[in-house]
A and B are shown apart, each in its own frame.
Chain A
């Protein structure tokens, strides 16, 4: 297994456009997390899935953000009508956990720049 992968690695878009990011977790992992990280800050939790169910959404996740994990495998994060404030690194992580947090394995991230 090659770990968590994210696609694309970089995305430049114009304000108002929609963007979609993909995350492929480690295959046997039941949990998948999305974070946003801006320069000089720690990652901010956005949402997480246990298998295909989205069980938690941060207040940071406005109505313009939506995430899916069909069939409990890969996940997509879509941002509609992008704003300059959406510019950040979007990180995906996965873990296998029955309780508690467990060790999260992070992908390399997708860096979004909104012009």
Chain B
């Protein structure tokens, strides 16, 4: 099973770009990489998902190198409301089963 490792915490200032890296050395061939955001007392919220190379949506970018042993979530121009815990999730679901492994999370604090 892929074990994921993330920095425990990060600090940033409003308007800066934030990059959070997740290591997943044992990622399997069919595993996807997904990032979620979680605020206190709420369930996680989907940010972005990828399999390889680069994926971009309206809120973030996800960079995945060729060996797929790590991934980097990039948040452009963060604001105070981006203060939250960010989790990477590695795994996949088949029609017959599957496994999903969350990292321990990175607590991002955005300061004015």
Contacts and interface: CB of A to CB of B under 8 A. Distances in A.
Contacts of A31: 93
B104 A42 contact: yes
Most buried by A among B43, B96, B101: B43
Which of under 10, 10 to 19, 20 to 34, or 35 or more describes the interface residues of B? 20 to 34
A112 interface: no
A101 B100 contact: yes
Interface residues of A, number: 28
Interface in A45-78: 45, 48, 50, 55-56
Contacts, number: 74
A18 interface: no
A16 interface: no
B95 A55 contact: yes
Nearest to A41: B104
B44 interface: yes
B98 interface: yes
B42 A56 contact: no
A44 B104 CA distance: 10
A97 interface: yes
B43 A4 contact: yes
B45 A101 contact: no
A85 interface: no
Given A31-B93, A97-B93, A106 B44 contact: yes
A93 interface: yes
Interface of B: 30, 32, 34, 36, 41-46, 49, 87, 89, 91-105
**9 A-B pairs with least C-beta separation:** A106-B43, A42-B102, A56-B97, A103-B46, A45-B100, A101-B32, A43-B102, A55-B97, A42-B87
Given A35-B102, A107-B43, 17 more contacts: A31-B93, A41-B104, A42-B105, A43-B44, A45-B91, A45-B100, A48-B93, A50-B95, A56-B93, A99-B95, A100-B92, A101-B34, A101-B91, A101-B98, A106-B44, A106-B45, A109-B42
